[in-house]
Amino acid sequence: MSDRPLDALEASLDDPVTVELKDGRAFHGRLDGYDQHMNVVLVDTVDTVEVDSDARRVRDKTIIRGDNVVRIET
C-alpha cells in the first residue's frame, strides 16, 4: 500500500496540509495544487512561527517554491 511522494500530494488535494519551510516557518492551508518540483499552492493559509505562536496572519492564495520546502504533513 506504498505511494510515491507526488501520489501522496495528489491524494491530499483540497485537504488541509502543513508545509514546513527551510527558514523554520510552517504554513497551514488547503492544498490547491502542486507540481513535480513540490511547488505548492495553498488557499486559506495561516503561517505559524513556532517560537511565537501568536504571530498568525490569514492570506488568500500562496504559491510556495518547492526548493524552500522541508516537509509536507498531510
The contact set with a copy of itself (CB under 8 A) reads: 1-9, 13-14, 21-23, 27, 31-35, 38-41, 59-74
Find out whether 74 and 15 touch, Cβ atoms under 8 Å: yes
Closest to a copy of itself by CB, 33 vs 48, is 33
> Which of 4, 3, 15 lies closest to 40 in space, CA to CA?
15
Minimum CB–partner distance for residue 51 and a copy of itself (Å): 14
Minimum CB–partner distance for residue 16 and a copy of itself (Å): 11
Question: How far is Cα 44 from Cα 65, in angstroms, rounded to an integer?
Answer: 17
Minimum CB–partner distance for residue 53 and a copy of itself (Å): 14
